[in-house]
A and B are shown apart, each in its own frame.
Chain A
């Protein structure tokens, strides 16, 4: 691979690893606020117990988010100097505001939130929990403002090959920001909800019948069930916004080659970029046109209208289907779970296992969605302004291979460690490292005793 391809793989690897953790902490921070507030209001110990377990998962996730985030900030310079040299006047202040208004806030109050409950008293501790949640969301706001500006740049002019801001309001509140922000915050809420539901179900399977765990499980399931329909609507609106501003991305998502009136919605296909056609197409006639234009025979521009200017089709096409697939799965599982657990019924073994399997489903959906968005932006780094290939730095392929291999190794180890430690924490909370107690689960009498 050449230096450009390697630099792209490295950036993709870093940002993929990074997003896993903010996706958890943004949502989980607000769940912790909820647990803490319920405890403050009711005085019931199980809310505090739930808080104390989940704050550990939060701390671990936050640490991974911080260190991988630092890596991101340096890679702008080490690998993509052309980015700041061209649009630094816009991107710089947005990143600067993220550091100033969010990073310090969350990092400083995190210490108090994690370790300071006995030192500062309950009120200040609750405030610290709120501030950390606000900080994580502010951080999301600024970075998504920048990302959205890269997708739909407004409020600037080009002079001598450099972008200069004309209106900061238009830069920040660019056309895709509201959709992307809502879509991502909901994605984070869902990621956290399925993590909470999944780990709580795991504790349940291990015989944990505590009030705290039952409560957390219920909260996770209900939150997922409430957020997923909202997410489907938000995703649809985001798609329409993309259709308006980045039609080439949508054409790749739909796998549509020619301009078509009454375009079908493809359920499956194998896009062949050399022949510029699909193989093994299965689709619903006219549905894509209906979704995108609200008319059965609406015109949808195909990839051939953007030849040389459109993203790689296969990756975007499949990432989109994975994201939608995960979303639909989330809908089915969370609603079934909410129904099965109505009126305080405990989850059955099958349901529990399904929830455990779905623990990190939010990661899959979120990452797939970001691949649609970011690969779909190619060949542009900033849509219509700067090509990715023009921003890459002078560092050679050999050097990048070394750093890339190291990062990949570190990330693989850390990801494995994270998942295993999170489940270990859950099994510990469920009562130490007891062997899986199938017998007890199969025997309702003993299960009741254990509760």
Chain B
């Protein structure tokens, strides 16, 4: 158990971070794209994420919660190294979270202000998350190059979330808004691909251990499928979106599914590179793990509640299935 519990919890943490990135990714993305749309379209865009954003963000709390719970001896270093980007992200998340409610409840003249807060908060939070990812990959080096790389990943994750958001809108909207979303997705796709490529190049540069893990036989044959399939996904998405731009409706869910697949692959590749380190080449999951009795106590909770959470999450998505209509409290 001393060996396996930290592995299980690292897996769970990675899973909740991945679910967070995909789920909150699409609703942050919708926020990033907000200013490209007209007033009525803005309402529809926000209505399409209305019932979900709250639960989506909860995955972030679970992810950071698991970091705190399972790896108390690493969370301090990770989070204090990321102090300012974390604070920036939090301010962003606060702004967008409340703007969501305020924009429909405040006086009409204030609505554009809250729309802007929603946009700005989404951009800020997304960029900060990308920055954190980039800086984390460098192992918190305090060089200018490390911060420059982090900045680049910040921009790329912004694009990545915009891709998720745009493809989500392709799935959930019709007509003019859908056509706009296709255009957004086509731009965002290539910046996303750039970000994934940058991370893939950077990790082996930071650590020779990563080089060894990827480029030794026989696992290389299997592992090379990850970049190959990712590249294929980017290309297929590109042509698929091009086709959608001409004749709309057929298979509107496919771009979203492909964007999600792209994120899953990139995440899997990164996870493989890092394992078993929480901070690259410095602190392993076993160095940082909490006591066995604490981990096994919380594991019971996870085993019982996670299936339930997944179950009712699916239920909630089914309730609001299909194209988005206006959202009302009635």
Contact = CB atoms under 8 A, between A and B. Distances in A.
Interface of A: 52, 55-56, 59-60, 62-64, 66-71, 73-74, 76-78, 81-82, 84-85, 88-93, 95-97, 99-101, 103-105, 107-112, 114-120, 162, 164-165, 168, 393-395, 399, 402-403, 406-407, 410, 414, 417, 421, 424-425
A406 B106 CA distance: 23
B101 A63 contact: yes
Contacts of B328: 115
Contacts of A425: 105
B55 A89 contact: no
Contact of A119 (B52, B102, B319): B319
Interface residues of B, number: 63
Contacts, number: 215
Majority SS at the chain B contact face: helix
B65 interface: yes
A56 B100 CA distance: 12
Cβ-closest 4 pairs across A and B: A81-B76, A88-B72, A111-B51, A77-B79
Contact of A74 (B55, B58, B72, B86): B86
B83 to A, nearest CB: 5
A164 B290 CA distance: 9
B87 A403 contact: yes
Given A82-B76, A111-B50, A114-B329, A406 B58 contact: no
B248 interface: no
Majority SS at the chain A contact face: helix
Nearest to B99: A63
B329 A84 contact: no
B51 A165 contact: no
B1 to A, nearest CB: 15
B319 A88 contact: no
Interface of B: 50-52, 54-55, 57-58, 60-62, 64-70, 72-73, 75-80, 82-84, 86-87, 90-91, 93-95, 97-98, 100-102, 105-107, 290-291, 293-294, 297-298, 301-302, 305-306, 309, 312-313, 316, 319-320, 327-330
A354 to B, nearest CB: 26
A430 to B, nearest CB: 15
B320 A116 contact: yes
A403 B92 CA distance: 13
A165 B70 CA distance: 14
A89 B293 contact: yes
Nearest to B89: A74
B228 to A, nearest CB: 36
B154 to A, nearest CB: 18
B309 A70 contact: no
A74 B52 CA distance: 22
B162 to A, nearest CB: 22
Contacts of A393: 76, 80
Given A52-B329, A74-B79, A77-B67, A116 B51 contact: yes
A112 B51 contact: yes
A78 B319 CA distance: 38
B139 to A, nearest CB: 17
Given A99-B62, A108-B55, A417-B106, A67 B93 contact: yes
Contact of B90 (A55, A70, A118): A70
Given A56-B105, A70-B90, A421-B102, 6 more contacts: A60-B101, A78-B82, A88-B294, A108-B316, A116-B319, A165-B294
Contacts of B80: 77-78, 81, 393-395
Contact of B102 (A60, A77, A100, A117): A60
